[in-house]
Amino acid sequence: MTVKKVGILTAGGLAPCLSSAIGSLIESYTSKAPDVEIICYRAGYKGLLQGDSFVVTPAIRDKADVLKKHGGSPIGNSRVKLTNVADCVKRGLVQEGQDPLHVAAERLKTDQVDVLHTIGGDDTNTAAADLAAYLHDNGYELTVVGLPKTIDNDVIPIRQSLGAWTAAEQGARFFENVVAEHNANPRMLIVHEVMGRNCGWLTAATAVKYREMLDELDFLPESGLSRERKEVHGVFIPEMHFDLEKEAERLKGIMDEIDCVNIFISEGAGVDTIVQEMESRGEEVPKDAFGHYKLDAVNPGKWFGKQFAEMLGAEKTLIQKSGYFSRAAPSNAADLDLISTCADKAVDCALAGDGGVIGHDEDQGDELRAIEFTRIKGGKPFDIDQPWFDDLLKGIGQPKGEAVAVEHH
């Protein structure tokens, strides 16, 4: 199949790779296949359903590198599940009686798109796979080539998802300032809630990055400026069991000694326990279009803060969430290299008609390839037995808990 026209869309939540990925795809097509027309759908699948797109002009191509210097997604995102018909009707994206898959497929046919690049997580890319299958069954061949975007770094079987390294670095920079709030009140408990619905990788990686930043600082303990007061004292993630009372006893000892405690938690840590508690009070816990609990309603940071505050005798508890700060950042150097490599591979695969999600395939020796959509899944658990995580826990004096299986909420 000769590729004459490609479409690009970004979907789901933000990550520090979207703008850079768009720029890298445009640059790669301009270099390898300059005659291929490129269009971008605004606001993800919403734009596809509504036929809202624009053409990538020569002026955009000439300055595509500018996109790599910014965070967010200039073409816009949305959370739309094409197989959730009721939600699409409710939001006015399709009419009653219409099948969103059919509407999206007809739009791609009308726009004469040969290749669709989807930049998103597992939901985004599996939705694109449904689209490709639907079109194939109806006599229209479309190659879908996805790029894996999620700061959770939890896409099976992809070694490293785009934007996750940057998110960890930015989360650490966020806490670098927040931690000084321990000076504002005696017996201060600071809870740093990090994004990660089912996977603790980002929380752990953020803590490691933050401690590397501490390594670069000078301290003056005689004045009260000590590393101990800026240290991470506890890391709590969905994949590792911990005894709340024992951890509280350990952390209370730290509080008694240095007058503050700083903990990092994944936003998905303890969700099942918190939901059960809420439902036992007769509260209904809302879900999004994909059936996930809305974590702002569950609010794990607040729950953990309350539990620990009472047991540590904290006078003040500060709960800070770095998610929106970190996920909207421009890509760092490491991510830019990964994004550029994956975008080049995505264009090569697109021109060859090889569909899938581009990534280093952990089940095939970390080969960079178009991974079959049927093998793409979310909720890859963080491996707590990795040496760097062991080093983190040893460095902060936290006992390692047993690994636990995590349900994909």
State the catalytic residues.
Answer: 152
246-257 burial: b if 16+ Cβ within 10 Å, else e: ebbebbbebbee
Q: Does the annotation list 122 as a binding residue?
A: yes
* 222 token code pair: 């005689």
Whole-number Å distance between alpha carbons of 353 and 376: 19
- Coil vs helix vs strand at 9: strand
- End-to-end Cα, the chain, rounded Å: 39
333 within 8 A of 321, measured Cβ to Cβ = no
Q: Does the annotation list 375 as a binding residue?
A: no
Q: Does the annotation list 161 as a binding residue?
A: no
Q: What are phi and psi of 377, to 5 degrees?
A: -145, 150
Helix or strand holding residue 214 (H, E): helix 201-215
Q: Does the annotation list 7 as a binding residue?
A: no
Q: What are phi and psi of 239, to 5 degrees?
A: -85, -5
Q: Does the annotation list 278 as a binding residue?
A: no
Q: Does the annotation list 176 as a binding residue?
A: no
Q: Does the annotation list 146 as a binding residue?
A: no
Question: Is the dihedral angle over the CA atoms 146, 151, 156, 161 positive or is it negative?
Answer: positive
Q: Does the annotation list 13 as a binding residue?
A: yes
Helix or strand holding residue 110 (H, E): helix 100-110
Q: Does the annotation list 219 as a binding residue?
A: no
Q: Does the annotation list 151 as a binding residue?
A: yes
If we measure between CA atoms, which residue out of 190, 194, 197, 202 comes closest to residue 232? Answer: 190
Q: Does the annotation list 215 as a binding residue?
A: no
Q: Does the annotation list 8 as a binding residue?
A: no
Q: Does the annotation list 371 as a binding residue?
A: no
Task: Mark the binding-site residues for substrate, compressed into ranges.
Answer: 150-152, 195-197, 267, 324-327
Task: Mark the binding-site residues for diphosphate, compressed into ranges.
Answer: 13
Task: Mark the binding-site residues, compressed into ranges.
Answer: 13, 122, 150-152, 195-197, 267, 324-327
Task: Mark the binding-site residues for Mg(2+), compressed into ranges.
Answer: 122
